[in-house]
Structure 1
Amino acid sequence: MVVDGWPLRRAAKRFDVSVTTAARWSRRYRELGEAGLEDRRSQPRGCPHPPGGAPSGACWDCA
Structure 2
Amino acid sequence: MDITHVAFQGGTKDGTTANYQDLDAESNLLFDAAFEPEELYERTTETLAVDGVDHVVFRIKA
Instruction: Place the TM-score, normalised by the shorter chain, in its bin.
Output: under 0.3
TM-score (norm 1): 0.23
Q: Select the structure of larger CA radius of gyration.
A: 1
The structure with higher relative contact order (CA 8 Å, sep 6+) is 2
TM-score (norm 2): 0.24
Which structure is higher in strand share? 2
